[in-house]
Amino acid sequence: LNVPEEALYLHEGAIEAETSRKIFEDQGVSPTEELFRQVLKRQRALFRQKYWSFVKPFPEIPDLLADLRKEGKKLALVTSSHREILEEILPSRLRGLFHFILTGDQVRRRKPHPEPYLLAREKLKAPEEGALAVENAPAGIRSAKGAGLFCVALTTTLAPHHLKQADLVLPSHRELYRLLLNGKRHA
């Protein structure tokens, strides 16, 4: 299979098996269940080997999270990744900045279903009004919007036209910082 990198980002955040099935479908391939399981297992191994050691937070993120917390904002991380993956790739200093972390293995229905964001909002005791999600992929945007959140999408992995379901599309974390903290830093 020749899978364009953009195809992976378009399906980022969606259920892993559904993503793989969609990629097969887009390539015109109908795998047997055994082949599908083997490919999924190989996909996970390759992802771990190729990407995990390179995953780093964007430079503005630690300051942004710390400053939002100082302002009394309740912060949740909502990811479709499994907890073991998150714990391996997300530095503990960043994990400590979130009031609540929700991983894909903690919900029955992952993104694009609204359940992850609804649960996070419930855990934070956050009202729908004023709640905001930051996303970078269509599945996450659909999940956030389905939960009634205002959604800001960042073009860190996909072009703006792929993120048009969001309420606002920004080109960078720097712009997100300006939006959320009125340009106090990273101007």
Q: 49-108, pLDDT tens digit by residue?
A: 766 667 788 899 999 999 999 999 999 999 988 898 888 888 889 999 999 999 999 999
Residue type, 181: L
pLDDT at 185: 47
Greater confidence (54 vs 8) lies with 54
147/143 Cα distance (integer angstroms): 6
Task: Strands of 4-163 (E only): list them.
Answer: 76-78, 100-102, 132-135, 150-154
Domains of the chain: 5-54 (no CATH), 61-181 (3.40.50.1000)
Question: What is residue 154's three-state secondary structure?
Answer: strand
- Evaluate if residue 183 carries a pLDDT over 60: no
